[in-house]
């Protein structure tokens, strides 16, 4: 009996998938986003058959943020507790979720989970929700990614497919630094900067036996090196089943060059491990940003001719 209960407690809870007529709420729990930048997204969600409820933080501004901490907390909490809202799409990331995460009341959410959608700063929510409650969420493009007629691309369409219950398989190109092999495990991860900052907090992730994915944008390359070694020293890479390196874009160097590009830096930090490693997987702060289900079981195959990631 004890073994059965332990197994049950470690299983991920998958929120209900969406049907036509269900409502998706849009909020901005971090950085400011003009409402007009979300208009195309809202129109497309309606075309997909969903209803849309815009939160008070969309288009609201308080300095850098989409409102004061209290306003952002209240807006997110209202969407979280609203039984008519079946998923919450974050308009953008930026910064700010870490300021309110410990004040969000997840009591009702734990009983009636719903999809939390976004990436970048939303990594805080993904990590917290899986670590604390073992509930899955969607690391996904956000509202602005729908603009400029991009809503028909395969990356945005992967959100529609995932929300409606499809299990997806992604294929990407083979890269020089890859380490071949096959792994199965729960997928966790997100933005490297946020994962490093969450170390030692109640939102920190346990990576043992997991497939970890990381990505980042706009960092100095020495910062990437520092954050990788923070994760390495804290044991995050030691007992992984597999590792996925996503996009590391808009990297910057110092006046005195670091001497390596970002992928060399990552390779040097993790080359000692023998589990499968995939470089340049299409996830991150780029157009090529597939939806990944944080907390779900995946199979990663890193071959000599093909790389695939499949939800199982």
Task: Provide the annotated active-site residues.
Answer: 120, 215, 285
Q: At what angle do helices 221-233 and 262-270 cross, to 10 degrees?
A: 20
CA–CA dist 235, 266 (Å, integer): 16
User: Contacts for 261-270 with beta carbons within 8 Å, 24 or more apart?
Assistant: 261/221, 262/221, 262/224, 263/177, 265/221, 265/224, 265/225, 265/228, 266/177, 266/224, 266/228, 267/177, 269/225, 269/228, 269/229, 269/232, 269/237, 270/228, 270/232, 270/237, 270/243
Report CA 59 to chain centroid distance, whole Å: 23
What's the alpha-carbon Rg for the chain, to the nearest Å?
Answer: 19
Picking from 253, 252, 247, 244, the residue whose alpha carbon sits closest to that of residue 276 is 244
User: What would the DSSP string read from start to end of 189-211?
Assistant: EEEHHHHHHTTTSTT----TTPE
Report CA 67 to chain centroid distance, whole Å: 23
């Amino acid at each position: 009996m004890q073994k059965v209960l332990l197994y049950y407690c470690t299983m991920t809870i998958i929120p209900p998938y969406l049907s036509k007529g269900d409502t998706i709420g849009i909020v901005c729990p971090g950085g400011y986003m003009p409402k007009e930048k979300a208009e195309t997204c809202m129109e497309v969600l309606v075309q997909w058959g969903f209803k849309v409820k815009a939160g008070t933080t969309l288009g609201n501004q308080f300095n850098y943020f989409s409102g004061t901490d209290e306003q952002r907390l209240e807006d997110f909490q209202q969407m979280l507790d609203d039984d008519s809202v079946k998923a919450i799409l974050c308009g953008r990331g930026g910064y700010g979720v870490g300021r309110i995460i410990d004040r969000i009341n997840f009591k009702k959410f734990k009983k009636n989970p719903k999809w939390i959608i976004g990436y970048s700063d939303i990594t805080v929510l993904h990590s917290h929700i899986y670590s604390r409650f073992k509930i899955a969420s969607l690391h996904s493009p956000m509202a602005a990614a729908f603009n400029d007629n991009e809503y028909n691309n395969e990356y945005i369409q992967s959100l529609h497919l995932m929300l409606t219950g499809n299990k997806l398989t992604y294929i990407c190109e083979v890269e020089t630094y890859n380490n071949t092999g096959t792994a199965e495990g729960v997928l966790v991860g997100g933005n490297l900067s946020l994962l490093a900052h969450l170390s030692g907090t109640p939102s920190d992730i346990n990576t043992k036996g997991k497939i970890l994915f990381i990505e980042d944008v706009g960092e100095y390359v020495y910062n990437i090196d520092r954050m990788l070694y923070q994760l390495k020293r804290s044991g995050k890479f030691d007992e992984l089943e597999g590792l996925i390196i996503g996009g590391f874009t808009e990297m910057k160097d110092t006046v005195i060059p670091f001497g390596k590009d970002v992928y060399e830096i990552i390779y040097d930090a993790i080359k000692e491990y023998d589990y499968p490693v995939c470089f340049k997987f299409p996830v991150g702060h780029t157009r090529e940003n597939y939806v990944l289900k944080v907390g779900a079981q995946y199979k990663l195959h890193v071959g000599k001719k093909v790389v695939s990631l499949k939800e199982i």
